[in-house]
């Protein structure tokens, strides 16, 4: 016959194991932090060590097997739900993108294309102020306040015309707010420009220094060279630069004098004396 329990243990036994429902509630509270299972062990240990061993096995199995399995199931379900949400979001983005592409193609056709399926700036400028085109741009989330600036942004290759691929990419890129990748690309391009500008400035300073040294050396060499007389001018050049206009009578006398000097050698005694009315100044 089992020994009688003390009065306190009997009250605890009736509290936790008085009925089947109370027993199940106590076991559930043990694994859900409703009650400390140390209290349950103290009650069971006063009854039997076998029930204490069964209770410890129950707690270990519930914690390390059942609860972990349930946690894993819920985590797997949450991961799959998140993946489904991502796929749904991707499908929604694709659907929105297709809708925007349809609107952009309609806008492209509304602007009027030529045989090459391109838009020129003249066509774009003519259609940009129409109500239909404005409504298309508003549905795309684009505010085109300057036709020329917007067209230059669309014309990435600078060809003066925009193809449908450039138009689609430009409209989808400019709609909404700036993305982080756009800001990152802008920062990268700016750093590249600053770096190459510094290299170019250093290169130009070196080249200008070399050019300055060469000019100084050339100037020194030219200063040391002797001066050379200028080559004699021809008679026609002398007449053009040194002859002063004279009267017709003086010109005739001058021609007669030159002709007589060419025919006979110069004789200071027998040479005829003729004084022209004007003086001829030659620049020798």
pLDDT one-digit tens code per residue, 42-53: 788 777 788 888
What pTM value is reported for the model?
0.32
Structure tokens at 70: 């349930």
Q: Residue 38 above 50 pLDDT?
A: yes
List, for residues 261-282, the tens digit of each pLDDT value.
Answer: 444 444 444 444 444 444 444 4
| Average pLDDT score over residue span 13-42 | 80
How far apart, in whole angstroms, are the C-alpha atoms of residue 197 and residue 194? 5
Q: Which residues contact 30 (CB under 8 A, 6 or more apart)?
A: 37, 40, 59
pLDDT interval class at 257 (50, 70, 90)? low
Position 104 confidence tier, pLDDT thresholds 50, 70, 90 = low
pLDDT score recorded for residue 277: 45
Provide mean pLDDT across the span 93-108. Answer: 69
Confidence of residue 246 (pLDDT cuts 50, 70, 90): very low
Tell me which of 200 and 87 has the higher pLDDT. Answer: 200
pLDDT at residue 214 in the model: 93
Average pLDDT, the chain: 71
Three-state SS across 209-248? Answer: HHHHHHHHHHHHHHHHCCCCCCCCCCHHHHHHHHCCCCCH
187-225 pLDDT, tens per residue? 888 999 999 999 999 999 999 999 999 999 998 888 877
Residue-level pLDDT at 114: 53
**Two structure tokens written together for 273:** 């004396």
Closest CA to 167 of 122, 90, 100: 100
Inter-helix orientation angle 131-139/68-111, to 10°: 170
Q: Who wins on pLDDT, 205 or 63? A: 205
Burial label for 171, CB within 10 Å (0-12, 13-18, 19+), is buried
Specify the pLDDT at position 276: 44
- Confidence (pLDDT) at 268: 44
- Measured distance CA(53)–CA(111) in Å, rounded: 85
Among left, alpha and beta (phi > 0; psi -120 to 50; other), residue 238 is: alpha
Please give the CATH number for the structural domain made up of 96-180. 1.10.238.10
Distance CA 72, CA 75 (A): 5
Q: What is the model's pLDDT at position 271?
A: 46
Domain boundaries, the chain: 7-89, 96-180
Q: Residue 263: its pLDDT value, please?
A: 47
Looking at residue 266, its pLDDT comes to 46
Secondary structure in 3-state letters for the chain? CCCCCCHHHHHHHHHHHCCHHHHHHHHHHHHCCCCCHHHHHHHHHHHCHHHHHHHHHHHHHHHHHHHHHHHHHHHHHHHHHHHHHHHHHHHHHHHHHHHHHHHHHHHHHHHCCCCCCEEEHHHHHHHCCCHHHHHHHHHCCCCCCCHHHHHHHHCCCCCCEEEHHHHHHHHHHHCCCCCHHHHHHHHHHHHHHHHHHHHHHHHHHHHHHHHHHHHHHHHHHHHHCCCCCCCCCCHHHHHHHHCCCCCHHHHHHHHHHHHHHHHCCCCCCCCCCCCCCCCCCCCC
Say if CB 254 and CB 246 are below 8 A apart. Answer: yes
């Amino acid at each position: 016959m089992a020994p009688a329990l003390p009065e306190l243990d009997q009250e605890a036994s009736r509290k936790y194991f008085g009925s089947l429902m109370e027993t199940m509630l106590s076991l559930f509270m043990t694994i859900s932090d409703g009650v400390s299972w140390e209290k349950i062990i103290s009650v069971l240990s006063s009854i039997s060590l076998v029930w204490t061993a069964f209770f410890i096995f129950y707690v270990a199995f519930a914690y390390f097997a059942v609860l972990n399995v349930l946690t894993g199931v819920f985590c797997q379900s949450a991961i799959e739900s998140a993946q489904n949400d991502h796929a749904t979001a991707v499908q929604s983005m694709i659907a929105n993108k297709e809708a925007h592409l349809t609107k952009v193609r309609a806008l492209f056709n509304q602007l009027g294309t030529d045989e090459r399926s391109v838009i020129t700036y003249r066509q774009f400028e003519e259609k940009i102020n129409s109500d239909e085109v404005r409504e298309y741009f508003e549905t795309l989330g684009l505010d085109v306040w300057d036709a020329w600036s917007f067209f230059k942004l669309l014309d990435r290759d600078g060809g003066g015309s925009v193809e449908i691929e450039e138009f689609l990419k430009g409209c989808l890129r400019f709609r909404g707010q700036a993305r982080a990748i756009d800001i990152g690309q802008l920062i990268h391009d700016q750093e590249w420009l600053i770096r190459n500008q510094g290299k170019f400035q250093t290169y130009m300073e070196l080249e200008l220094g070399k050019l300055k040294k060469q000019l100084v050396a050339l100037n020194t060499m030219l200063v040391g060279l002797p001066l050379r007389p200028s080559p004699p001018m021809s008679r026609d050049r002398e007449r053009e630069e040194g002859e002063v206009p004279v009267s017709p009578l003086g010109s005739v006398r001058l021609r007669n004098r030159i002709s007589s000097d060419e025919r006979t050698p110069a004789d200071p005694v027998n040479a005829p004396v003729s004084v022209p009315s004007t003086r001829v100044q030659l620049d020798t």
